[in-house]
Amino acid sequence: MNTTPSHHPQAAHAYLDHAATTPVLDEVVEVVAREMRETGNASSLHDPGRRARRVVEESREQVAEALGVRPSEVVFTSGGTEADNLAVKGTYAARRAADPARDRIVVSGIEHHAVLDPVEHLVTHEGARVTWVEPDAQGRITPDALERALDADGGPGTAALVSVMWANNEVGTIQPVPELAALAREHGIPIHSDAVQALGQAPLDLSAVDLGVVTGHKIGGTLGVGVLTAGRDQAPVPLTHGGGQERGLRSGTLDTAAIAGLALAVTHAAEHQASHARHLARLRDALVEGALALDPGITVSGPWTPGDTTERLAGNAHLRVADCEGDSLLYLLDAAGVACSTGSACQAGVPRPSHVLLAMGIPEEEAKGALRLTLGHASSQADVDAFLAALPPALERARRAHAASRPSTARSA
């Protein structure tokens, strides 16, 4: 299957921000375009409606098979953020209503803001309590750490939900989610996992968790469509009400075209995961090794062993640069035709160190020099070479700016 896009996003010389979004596969464009030419609401009973419904249900079956769940457990959403909100807010509301003693959410300290902000909302507006599960220095949530968090603040009987992402979106650490899920289930607590970054780069079986989340635009699908997998025994309180689509969990007219494209992208990601990961790991290692060779002030965040795809996402390289501001590096690299980021795109422009790095115990001054470089299906050695060529002059200018901005230690008497 040809997966080469017709162009790089925004004509950048090197696009190294695939964790933010990745080019849409040509095959997906074709499927979406074909479905957009058809008319029919999948909730209508006439022939055009039944045709649209058939496309939706066939797509649901494809997605379910790729993710290891039943078709009835696949709920289509507008993307990862909506799915995370439905899982966290909806499950908390359902569990709290069934047992008022369950007023606590146990959540890792390195989650995406699509999870952190719903938790904050519940704390502020719904009286929820939160127990944070802190990562180790590599950004890993261990079963021991989760056990301690479950035992805290009133014990497991007060926990409504556990939430731990499958792989971190900033430093790329892959979490031992099946082990964590087994622990949560021993205590009868549902576990939710945001697997947005993991799909296509790590083996993924969402039957291991009660609630799982993926989205289309990280794997060659379109923006604006995603999936919540919700076990048959899970009944989150819906956030939207209307026509009762998607098990009554997510009302709204189904986007048949986007769903058809999503199914193709998810199937492709699952089928090609192993070979894709090997390809990305080779590029990632060349990038990291090249950067380390260029400058002794560069450090890798998170676990990294050349060739490994089990502890770290194959397409993720996260570097910390001494005596430098990550934002300055980003702009200088962008001017040189290299697109990358300092962390989550959803927090871009916010001038504060990454909560992920701080949770890992990295000092604030070091965390400010973060640079995230992520590879995807359109990446090549040419992208790596372009970055390594642009890095030395960008480092020099960024460090000069950093030194000039620091207050002088010399003071007149």
Residues labelled catalytic: 346
User: What's at 267, amino acid-wise?
Assistant: T
Question: Kind of pairing, strands 316-321 and 370-374?
Answer: antiparallel
| DSSP codes joined into one string, 217-264 | TTTTS-TT-EEEEE-TT--PPPS--SS-TTTTTS-S---HHHHHHHHH
Q: Kindly report the CA angle at 80 between 75 and 83, in degrees rounded to 5? A: 45
Residue 8 to residue 13: CA distance in whole angstroms: 8
Residues paired with 173 in a beta bridge: 312
Residue 235 to residue 237: CA distance in whole angstroms: 6
How is the chain split among helix, strand and coil, in percent rounded to 5?
A: 45, 15, 40
Closest to 250 measured CA to CA, from 40, 85, 75, 74: 75
Q: DSSP character for 157? A: G
Q: What are phi and psi of 375, to 5 degrees?
A: -105, 160
List the 370-374 sheet strands across, edge first.
298-300, 316-321, 370-374
HEC assignment per residue over 123-141: HHHHCCEEEEECCCCCCCC
CA 6, 10, 11, 16 dihedral sign is negative
What 3-state DSSP class applies to 321? strand
Q: What are phi and psi of 124, to 5 degrees?
A: -75, -40
Residue 209 · residue 198 · CB < 8 Å? no
Residue 318 · residue 171 · CB < 8 Å? yes
Pull the structure tokens for residue 58.
């066939």
